[in-house]
Amino acid sequence: MQAGRLLGKTTRAIQRRAGLHGAAMAVRSSSAFADRLKELSLAKTAAQWKDNHPNHGKWKEQFATNGYLVIEDLLDQEELDVYKEIYRQLMEGEIDSSSHRHDLGSHVEQKQKGAENVCQIMWPSVYVDQLECGPLHQRTGEISRTILGDDLDFDFDMLIAKDPETNTPTPWHQDESYWPSMPDKRAVSCWVAMEHTTLDNGCMWFVPGSHLQPLRAHKPAAEGAHVLQCEASEDEGVPQPLSPGSCTMHHGRTLHYSRGNSSKTTRRGFITNYRPAAMVRWERELGFDHGKKGLDKVDHSIAGEVYRNAGHTEIKHTKPSKTA
Ligand SMILES: O=C(O)CCC(=O)C(=O)O
Ligand SMILES: [Fe+2]
């Protein structure tokens, strides 16, 4: 039995019985996942999962050398099905995340009617009870501490999805350019593939060793746009296709990019970010929380310096096409 299907049905049955709709439904629908996520984590702790992973002894060195790392089989099929169902409910608006949803590809004309060019939903863990306790967050946290130090802590999560034939690349960038400049630069993002990622649907590309180089100059990809870009090209980079349930981990300074999705299927990444606990506190004291309170509350004057230099920046909410 497919765990995701089962959850979807259970969730809808709960909603029907309770007669829930709108915002109430959004909150209620997420609680059906909580027990399942806890069950999965109890069945195999993150430490057990790591100890059983054939390559864990090499992670730290590979990450230190290349600035990124590939982890096969972060999730097995049963676990992945739960995240795919959560992802689906968020994308289709069954869980309403509109105050955290926008088009990261809004700097170019809309390619497909009713779909964002690049859909970004910040903070899925705000919407899904116990998401942080599930295997995806627990294991990516474990890997982060293995490669960058025991003091690493969860900072934020997000979804970045490219619908079929939306053909919009994510520009070359280093994540650090989006954030206030922190005294401790250790940071890692984990990009978990919900389905096969390929050159044609927009797999991630990385520039090996770029985390050891200075931060390049970034600017908004168009006037007033939130998405940032710097000078770099595929000639410098390496594509990293992934199988479903596998992930890449990249350093906050590693140059990366993805091509647009020119295929007929979706390309969905579930992303978690970790940095030293002291730096998470430092950000929050500054008032920076990666849009947790809603994207219209983001104060770009305390984000990356590039926004201050660029002046006006706007994040416009988007909604799933069904409800738009
Ligand atoms: O999914 C993408 O295309 C970009 C992801 C990204 O930039 C990131 O995870 O830091
Ligand atoms: Fe990025």
175 lines ligand 1 (CB under 6 A): yes
pLDDT digits (tens, 9 = 90+) for 118-157: 999 999 999 999 999 999 999 999 999 999 999 999 999 9
Q: Which atom of ligand 1 is nearest to the CA of 258?
A: 3
State the ligand closest to the CA atom of 269.
1
pLDDT digits (tens, 9 = 90+) for 93-116: 999 999 999 999 999 999 999 999
Q: What is the pLDDT of residue 6?
A: 36
Q: What is the pLDDT of residue 309?
A: 86
pLDDT digits (tens, 9 = 90+) for 9-39: 444 433 333 333 333 334 445 678 999 999 9
pLDDT digits (tens, 9 = 90+) for 64-91: 999 999 999 999 999 999 999 999 999 9
pLDDT at 3 over 60: no
Q: What is the pLDDT of residue 65?
A: 98
Residue 231's CB is within 10 A of a number of other CB atoms, namely: 11
Q: What is the pLDDT of residue 13?
A: 39
269 lines ligand 1 (CB under 6 A): yes
DSSP 31-92: HHHHHHHHHHHHHS-HHHHHHH-TTGGGHHHHHHHHSEEEETTSS-HHHHHHHHHHHHHHHH
Q: What is the pLDDT of residue 15?
A: 38
State the ligand closest to the CA atom of 121.
1
189 lines ligand 1 (CB under 6 A): yes
| Residue 198 identity (one-letter amino acid) | T
3-state DSSP assignment of residue 167: coil
What domains can be seen in the chain, in order of their start residue? Answer: 3-310 (2.60.120.620)
Nearby residues for ligand 2 (ion, Cβ within 5 Å): 175
Grade residue 311 by pLDDT with cuts at 50, 70 and 90.
Answer: confident
CA distances from 206 to 250, 298, 306 (A): 8, 28, 22
Distance of alpha carbon 234 from alpha carbon 86, whole angstroms: 33
Q: What is the pLDDT of residue 26?
A: 43
For residue 170, how far is the Cα from the chain centroid? 13
pLDDT at 176 over 80: yes
160 lines ligand 1 (CB under 6 A): yes
Task: Please state which of the ranges 2-11, 213-222, 265-274 shows the lowest mean pLDDT.
Answer: 2-11
3-state DSSP assignment of residue 94: coil
pTM for this structure? 0.91
Query: Helix %, strand %, coil % for the chain, to 5?
Result: 40, 20, 40
